[in-house]
Amino acid sequence: MKIYSVIMAGGVGSRFWPRSTKKMPKQLLKIFGENTMIQDTVERLKGLVEDDSIFVITNKLQRPEIIRQLPQIPEENIIEEPFGRNTAACIGLASVIIQEKTKDGVSIILPADHIIKEKDEFHKTLRTAAEFAYKSKGLVTIGIKPTRPETGYGYIQIDEKHVSHNVYNVLTFAEKPNYATAVRFLDSGDFLWNSGMFIWRVDTILEEIKQYLPDLNEGLVHISKDINKPAFSDTLAKIYGQLKSISIDYGVMEKSQKVYLTKGTFSWSDVGSWEEVYNLSKKDENGIAKTGEVFTDMVVDSYIYSPDKFAAVIGVDNLIIINSKDALLICRRDQSQNVKKVVDYLKVNKLTEYL
């Protein structure tokens, strides 16, 4: 069983404005520690996947920086999408490229910007999922046991009867719920957080794409004919421009009859907002997490980032303050999911210098 990994790294991280930009999005930043998020993602695969079996799907703006940050990954494995077409196209493209190397290889699909601790448990979970996916030709996703009624995550309901060791049948997928629904999910005990990680054989996922996303399949067939040929870039650009933007969850996972779940036995966060960064950061006795030369007085429970210039914050609580070179964000912690509205505003008003 040959194991590959596909790291999806084309997002712009709009909820992490103003630090996250088109050219330097969240996954390319040092949010925690000395490594960037994508460097941590690759480092986490050591001992499970060889460097030359790791593929990164990104875009033209981000590819040079990813090559710089990941010198251990062959440059030809850092693949540039000509257009963003959501996760189904991204995964399909990676799958036809891997299939040129091996027909039944197992592919681990990972976002580039998650925080995962307990590396050994992470590997144990992935090995269980990979072995099951290889033998059963099933589509396996990883579910995380909820620790709170989170409204920022999707959920997956499972049948608690084991199909195999730590592998369960999936009953339903649920979109991000309101708070009351999230409480019900938590109380039920059979709903888990949808981690956005997948494990399957490349031939299996391509068969399911063929069944449920025939237009995408048709495009992938055309693309696959020119892999490793001079015409590949032109063919990819031509075909990709015609593809429908759809997620793998909606396009395949919610329709397939081959979907299973492995419970992740490790701590996990998709770090989907500045509030989550605050929650994961070290804080002082007043609940303040700060970066840079920052003076505070009568401030509690806040996240303050100002590495480039002195900042003084007085008499406030529960705030996110991001003071970058080009822009300043101030918002209540419980409103941090709405930072993407700023990005929408900048796009509409053509203020691209701040994106």
Over residues 104-127, the pLDDT tens digits come to: 999 999 999 999 989 999 999 999
* Amino acid occupying residue 14: S
φ/ψ of 94, rounded to 5, equals -60, -40
User: 52-56 — which CB contacts under 8 Å span 24+ positions?
Assistant: 52/77, 53/2, 53/3, 53/4, 53/5, 54/4, 54/5, 54/7, 55/4, 55/5, 55/6, 55/7, 55/79, 55/94, 55/97, 55/98, 56/6, 56/7, 56/9, 56/112
State how far the Cα of 243 lies from the Cα of 255, in Å rounded to an integer: 19
| Placement of tokens 């269980």 in the chain | 128
| Token pair in block for residue 134 | 């290889």
Length of the chain (residues): 355
Q: Could you give all domains of the chain from N- to C-terminal order, each with its CATH number?
A: 3-269 (3.90.550.10), 274-354 (no CATH)
Q: What is the pLDDT of residue 13?
A: 81
Q: What is the pLDDT of residue 200?
A: 98
State how far the Cα of 55 lies from the Cα of 64, in Å rounded to an integer: 15
Mean of per-residue pLDDT scores for the chain: 95
Q: What is the pLDDT of residue 160?
A: 84
Task: From 71, 45, 67, select the one nearest 58 (Cα to Cα).
Answer: 67
| Token pair in block for residue 344 | 């929408």
Does 11 score more than 90 pLDDT?
Answer: no
Q: How many helices (H) does the chain have, and how many strands (E)?
A: 11, 15
State how far the Cα of 246 lies from the Cα of 252, in Å rounded to an integer: 10
Q: What is the pLDDT of residue 206?
A: 98
Average pLDDT in the 21-39 region? 93
pLDDT band at 162 (very low <50, low <70, confident <90, very high): confident
The pTM assigned to this predicted structure is 0.94
Does 152 score more than 90 pLDDT?
Answer: no
- The percent of residues in the chain predicted with pLDDT above 90, rounded, is 91
The answer for residues whose C-beta is within 8 angstroms of residue 4's C-beta and 6 or more apart is 49, 53, 54, 55, 98, 101, 105, 106, 107, 108, 202
Task: From 242, 194, 193, select the one nearest 215 (Cα to Cα).
Answer: 242
Does 149 score more than 90 pLDDT?
Answer: yes
